[in-house]
Amino acid sequence: MIARLYRSLPLIIILALIALVVYFVVSYRSSPNRAKEVLIRSFIWLTGILSGFFALASLYALLERNYFALDIMASFLAVTLVALGIVLVCRAVFLKHHPQYRKKPMKAKRERRLR
């Protein structure tokens, strides 16, 4: 089990570095709450896409009976699914403490008046 997590350590480090860079750049340009909102939204997309990719790669490795590749892809899939779960919990806590972020302003629709 430790060996599988050791192989996915570069993925964990890359995700952590992306999170740090996004948070610090957005908090510098805007506010910390906006940085959290952007980070949560972007990581939901990133971990969702990565989970889908690793699920498809795991399925392909299983169909090809390549158990070494299946082992690696399944461990990467587990890491991305755990990260997605953590992000969804963070989103729930963020929306609990900041309910104003739940409703976004919408663009007004202009209707022309007939004369």
* CA angle, residues 44, 53, 56, in degrees to nearest 5: 135
d(CA 36, CA 80): 19
How many other C-beta atoms can be found within 10 angstroms of the C-beta atom of residue 79?
22
Q: Are 15 and 23 in contact (CB under 8 A)?
A: no
User: pTM for the full model?
Assistant: 0.79
pLDDT digits (tens, 9 = 90+) for 35-69: 998 999 999 999 999 999 999 999 999 999 998 88
Identify the H or E element spanning 75.
Answer: helix 67-97
**Who's near 78: CB < 8 A, 6+ residues apart?**
8
pLDDT digits (tens, 9 = 90+) for 68-97: 889 889 989 999 999 999 999 999 998 888
DSSP 88: H
